[in-house]
Amino acid sequence: MVKFASVAFLAFAALASAAPITPSPSVKVDPVTPSPSVKIDSATADSDNIFATDVKYTGKATWFTDSYGSCNIEWNGDSEPTVALNAHQMGAVSWGNPACNKRVLIVNQANGKSVEARIVDKCPGDECAWGSLDLSPAAFKQLGSLDTGILPIEWHYI
């Protein structure tokens, strides 16, 4: 029995000192990395400030209806331009997130129309890609028709 225990201990020790397992290329390692569509307008952009007003993001705008979001803020999306920030840029924290109540300027890249909106929610999971926003009907209508469903946008914090 002592001989078996020694062999088992040696096998365990060999496994414990083995190289770490690396994920396969199909595994997403860092979902928070910005896409190449992130634009910085000036060389003086404050990269330490995620709410810098001179950093522009591009993505897609979709729309949704609700009256209560992950920021724990009541709002009326039929009358107030509001947005749900994509989960990649908002991160794991919802209530108390520093992005909540921040204002953004959103421009429809197809027609140049713009709207100022307030962040009140988080677009769940991977439903919104990095740079994309989910808009309230009041915000989306200022950029285009609800029937369109998806708009190409550029936006930044204000």
Whether pTM exceeds 0.75: no
The CATH superfamily holding the domain 29-157 is: RlpA-like domain (2.40.40.10)
Rounded-to-integer distance, Cα 122 and Cα 148, Å: 22
Q: Are strands 133-135 and 55-63 parallel, antiparallel or unpaired?
A: parallel
Rounded-to-integer distance, Cα 94 and Cα 117, Å: 18
Sequential pLDDT tens for the chain (158 residues): 444 444 444 443 443 444 443 343 433 333 344 444 444 333 333 445 789 999 999 999 999 987 678 899 888 999 999 999 999 999 888 888 999 999 999 999 999 999 999 999 999 877 899 999 999 999 999 999 999 999 999 999 99
